[in-house]
């Protein structure tokens, strides 16, 4: 990328203050070096790429204009924080990003005082910025202190952003919202706000004409009462269409832009100008996702978080092949089959068409495919509406993002007993994204609601059979599966029946109850232990709710010990369900629960995190060995 023999600047940047007084050519050279580092990173591992390439100049201009040890900076979502990390003292550790024990791929206050919140979910930045500004004001600590939220055009339509914007007039003094408009979410952005931003982009070119027309409109005489009102409305409507950023102005913000976000001098000039105002200000910055790396600008969807890739000698890019068929593929195929079978079935995604591998569904069923943008709460209430009139909506969503819809799952879906099906991808550890993205709370928060059926397939066979089951069930259902290679357990399998588990192996020496896709590990552990003379029963629970108490409770009663296994938080999870059922039946038994305790799990490869948590084959086998010894006659455990 950069063809320079000069001494690199980036390694010398230990804090943003090293940017002070830096010349424009040096800033531009630094931008090139940052892009080089980003390119080197993705040759080592998958990481967020195109979004980071797009904010380099904006990041430099922000840090040159503000001092974010005093001022406040929030990067919405946080996946575009890499340039910020590189110039805030983390260049030496940067190569560790997204690896276990290394830097997080998102903001992390434990890494740096320049990061205020751990984030990863989109849309909260404006609210937290309003809160920061308001708190500073109450503490009379706001002397010249600016709060800046940088939010992408994909995150911008999130409902919570409008809740914050409606509130900004009161608390938004010295508050700047930078709208980073690159025309993309992960996929092309959708919806009315996207169209509005397109119109704003256009408006600069027409500003001369616009001024004239607005002047003319302002001279329209107001006549008698009703006519006057009508004319006022027409005038306001016309102005709204012609004035750039009228929507924001009406909400009490000053709208500035759109400006070219790759012109570092220009961005800096506007930021300095903003600093001279009182706020709140919305600065509309136009950038290009993937800027500086041609293939990424050509295919920003692929390069949002591409697989590891390198450049061959002939200049072509070689992408690392993915690890084969994933549960996500199995889910999207099952959805396709269901939509082919019935024209009542619809699918809703909240901006994750690519992540959920729904492209074929989108292309083959354009009328029944709905992308709401990053609006999970809306997606769920929307699905409830469709279900109410007789459709069979599937909300295909990452487990962690569904948390945004908690109240709508309760009020609009479960309370009404509507047949909405939730396909919960990334149910379990999501890997290098870390704590913000692990989908480990879903079993607990979904089973709370009466009417809700919660399923956790033990393998791909289960997943494919559970969707048709859910679609004919008269009530809400959730099917949660991990970000992992799809596995099919060998042997004859029982059909899916509501609240029915499946016994896959029988032995008198102990019991493993598996709630989900760690089933192959449970079976492998049982196999291993059989070699040591310990014959275990293994149950594929399938249903977390309702639990198959008829099958499970007698097995627990007859087994010297029981180990429950789940890739989920223990609080409220599958093991809790089993313990509650035992308590309700007045039964006591030695039960050990394997899962995730009361802590957040860091980032790393899913397999290494599972191993650390004792949730791999070796960990499950070891827990069984220990239980077997502890529960052996004469050991006093009952
Ligand atoms: C609540 C939530 N839903 C979905 C996502 C997944 N996601 C991460 S980044 C992204 C696109 C964001 O687009 P934009 O804000 O424009 O940033 P860009 O990548 O274009 O810079 C999406 C959908 C998320 N992080 N949080
Ligand atoms: C920033 C963000 O939320 C997404 O880009 C997320 O990282 C996607 O995760 P997957 O890689 O598991 O699809
Ligand atoms: Mg964007």
DSSP 240-286: HHHSTTHHHHHTT-EEEEEEETT-HHHHHHHHHHHHTS-S-EEEEEE
Reply yes or no on whether the pLDDT at 233 is more than 50: no
For 563, phi then psi, to 5°, come to -120, 125
Reply yes or no on whether the pLDDT at 226 is more than 50: no
- 202-214: per-residue pLDDT in tens? 765 333 334 444 4
Question: How far are the Cα atoms of 165, 192, 495, 513, 623 from residue 421, in angstroms, in the given order?
Answer: 33, 27, 19, 25, 35
Ligand 2 atom at shortest distance from the alpha carbon of 426: 12
Q: How far does residue 473's CA lie from ligand 2's centre (Å)? A: 31
C-alpha closest to that of 298 among 283, 208, 306: 306
**CA of 356, nearest ligand number:** 2
Q: First vs last Cα of the chain: how many Å apart?
A: 67
pLDDT of residue 227: 43
**CA of 355, nearest ligand number:** 2
Reply yes or no on whether the pLDDT at 219 is more than 60: no
pLDDT of residue 199: 86
Output the six-digit token pair for 544.
Answer: 């977390």
pLDDT of residue 245: 80
- 557-581: per-residue pLDDT in tens? 999 999 999 999 999 999 999 999 9
- Cβ of 593 below 6 Å from ligand 1: no
- Cβ of 483 below 6 Å from ligand 2: yes
Residue 222 binned pLDDT confidence (cut-offs 50, 70, 90): very low
Asked whether the beta carbons of 391 and 339 are under 8 A apart, the reply is: no
C-alpha closest to that of 548 among 494, 623, 601, 510: 494
Output the six-digit token pair for 269.
Answer: 């000039």
Residue 127 binned pLDDT confidence (cut-offs 50, 70, 90): very high
Beta bridge partners of 181: 286
Is residue 154 part of an annotated ligand binding site?
yes
- Cβ of 119 below 6 Å from ligand 2: no
pLDDT of residue 224: 39
Under 8 Å CB-to-CB from 211, ≥6 apart: which residues?
none
Catalytic residue among 29, 90, 368, 404: 404
- Cβ of 628 below 6 Å from ligand 2: no
C-alpha closest to that of 434 among 9, 96, 36, 157: 96
Catalytic residue among 72, 90, 268, 289: 289
Asked whether the beta carbons of 421 and 394 are under 8 A apart, the reply is: yes
- 164-189: per-residue pLDDT in tens? 999 998 887 899 999 999 999 999 99
Asked whether the beta carbons of 192 and 162 are under 8 A apart, the reply is: no
Helix, coil or strand: residue 231: helix
pLDDT of residue 285: 96
* ipTM entry: 0.99
Q: How far does residue 156's CA lie from ligand 1's centre (Å)? A: 9
Of the listed ranges 96-110, 312-326, 362-376, 477-491, the one predicted with least confidence: 312-326
Average pLDDT over the chain, rounded to an integer = 92
Catalytic (active site) residue 376: yes
- 76-92: per-residue pLDDT in tens? 999 999 999 999 999 99
Interatomic CA distance for residues 189 and 458, integer angstroms: 35
C-alpha closest to that of 519 among 487, 545, 495: 487
Q: What is the DSSP string of 437-488?
A: T-B-SHHHHHTTSTT-EEE--SSHHHHHHHHHHHHHSSS-EEEE--SSB---
Catalytic (active site) residue 542: no
CA-derived radius of gyration, the chain: 27
pLDDT of residue 3: 53
Q: How far does residue 188's CA lie from ligand 3's centre (Å)? A: 8
What phi-psi label fits residue 428: left (phi over 0), alpha (psi between -120 and 50 degrees) or beta? left
Of the listed ranges 45-49, 229-233, 392-396, 424-428, the one predicted with least confidence: 229-233
**CA of 52, nearest ligand number:** 1
Helix, coil or strand: residue 564: strand
Catalytic (active site) residue 606: no
Of the listed ranges 233-237, 392-396, 499-503, the one predicted with least confidence: 233-237
- 54-66: per-residue pLDDT in tens? 999 999 999 999 9
- 134-167: per-residue pLDDT in tens? 998 888 766 679 999 999 999 999 999 999 999 9
State the average pLDDT over residues 320-335: 92
pLDDT of residue 141: 66
Q: How far does residue 231's CA lie from ligand 1's centre (Å)? A: 41
Asked whether the beta carbons of 62 and 271 are under 8 A apart, the reply is: yes
State the average pLDDT over residues 276-283: 90
- Cβ of 157 below 6 Å from ligand 1: no
- 588-600: per-residue pLDDT in tens? 999 999 999 999 9
Tell me 395's DSSP state. E
Reply yes or no on whether the pLDDT at 486 is more than 50: yes
Q: Work out whether strand 317-319 and strand 309-311 pair parallel, antiparallel, or are unpaired.
A: antiparallel
pLDDT of residue 171: 80
Q: How far does residue 59's CA lie from ligand 3's centre (Å)? A: 15
| 502 vs 194: which has the higher pLDDT | 502
Q: Is 629 exposed, middle or buried (0-12, 13-18, 19+ CB in 10 A)?
A: exposed
pLDDT of residue 142: 63
Domains (range + CATH), the chain: 10-182+251-298 (3.40.50.970), 327-480 (3.40.50.970), 502-630 (3.40.50.920)
pLDDT of residue 210: 41
């Amino acid at each position: 990328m950069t063809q320079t023999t000069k001494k690199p600047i980036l390694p010398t940047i230990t804090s943003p203050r090293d940017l002070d007084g830096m010349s424009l050519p040096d800033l531009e050279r630094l931008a090139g070096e940052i892009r080089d580092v980003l390119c080197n990173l993705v040759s080592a591992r998958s990481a967020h790429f195109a979004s980071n390439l797009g904010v380099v100049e904006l990041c430099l201009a922000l840090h040159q204009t503000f001092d974010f040890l005093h001022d406040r900076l929030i990067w919405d979502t946080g996946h575009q924080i890499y340039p910020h990390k590189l110039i805030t003292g983390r260049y030496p550790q940067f190569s560790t990003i997204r690896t276990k024990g290394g830097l997080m791929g998102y903001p992390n206050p434990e890494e740096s005082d320049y990061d205020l919140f751990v984030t990863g979910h989109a849309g909260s930045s404006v609210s937290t910025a309003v809160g920061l500004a308001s708190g500073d004001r109450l503490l009379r600590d706001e002397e010249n202190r600016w709060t800046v939220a940088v939010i992408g055009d994909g995150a911008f339509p999130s409902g919570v952003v409008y809740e914050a914007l409606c509130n900004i007039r009161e608390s938004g003094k010295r508050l700047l919202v930078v709208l980073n408009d690159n025309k993309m979410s992960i996929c092309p952005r959708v919806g009315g706000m996207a169209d509005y931003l397109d119109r704003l982009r256009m408006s600069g070119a027409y500003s001369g004409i616009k001024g004239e027309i607005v002047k003319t409109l302002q001279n329209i005489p107001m006549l008698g009462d009703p006519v006057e009102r009508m004319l006022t409305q027409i005038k306001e409507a016309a102005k709204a269409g012609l004035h750039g950023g009228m929507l924001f102005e009406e909400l009490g913000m000053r709208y500035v832009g759109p400006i070219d976000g790759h012109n570092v001098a220009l961005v800096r000039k506007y930021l300095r100008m903003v600093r001279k105002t009182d706020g709140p200000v919305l600065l509309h910055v136009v950038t290009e996702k993937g800027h500086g790396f041609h293939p990424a600008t050509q295919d920003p969807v692929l390069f949002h978080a591409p697989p590891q890739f390198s450049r061959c000698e002939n200049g072509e890019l070689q992408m690392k092949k993915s690890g084969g068929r994933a549960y996500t593929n199995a889910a999207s195929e099952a959805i396709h089959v269901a939509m082919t079978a019935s024209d009542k079935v619809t699918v809703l995604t909240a901006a994750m068409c690519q992540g959920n591998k729904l492209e074929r569904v989108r292309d083959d069923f354009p009328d029944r495919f709905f992308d709401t943008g990053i609006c999970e709460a809306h997606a769920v209430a929307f699905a409830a509406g469709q279900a109410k009139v007789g459709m069979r909506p599937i909300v295909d969503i990452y487990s962690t993002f569904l948390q945004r819809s908690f109240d709508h799952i309760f009020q609009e879906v479960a309370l009404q007993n509507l047949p909405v099906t939730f396909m919960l991808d990334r149910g379990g550890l999501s890997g290098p994204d870390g704590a913000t993205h692990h989908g480990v709370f879903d079993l607990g928060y979904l089973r709370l609601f009466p009417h809700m059926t919660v399923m956790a397939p033990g393998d791909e066979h289960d997943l494919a059979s559970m969707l048709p089951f859910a679609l004919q069930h008269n009530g809400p259902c959730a099917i949660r599966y991990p970000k992992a290679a799809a596995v099919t357990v060998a042997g004859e399998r029982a059909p899916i029946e509501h609240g029915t588990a499946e016994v896959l192996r029988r032995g008198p020496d102990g019991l493993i109850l598996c709630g989900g896709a760690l089933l192959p590990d449970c079976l492998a552990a049982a196999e291993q232990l059989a070699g040591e003379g310990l014959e275990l029963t293994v149950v594929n629970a399938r249903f977390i709710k309702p639990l198959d108490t008829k099958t499970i409770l007698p097995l627990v009663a007859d087994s010297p010990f029981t180990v429950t296994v789940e890739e989920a938080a223990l609080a409220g999870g599958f093991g809790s369900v089993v313990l509650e059922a035992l308590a309700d039946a007045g039964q006591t038994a030695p039960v050990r629960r394997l899962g995730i305790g009361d802590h957040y799990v860091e980032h790393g490869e899913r397999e290494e995190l599972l191993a650390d948590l004792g949730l791999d084959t070796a960990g499950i086998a070891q827990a069984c060995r220990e239980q077997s010894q502890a529960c052996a006659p004469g050991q006093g455990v009952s």
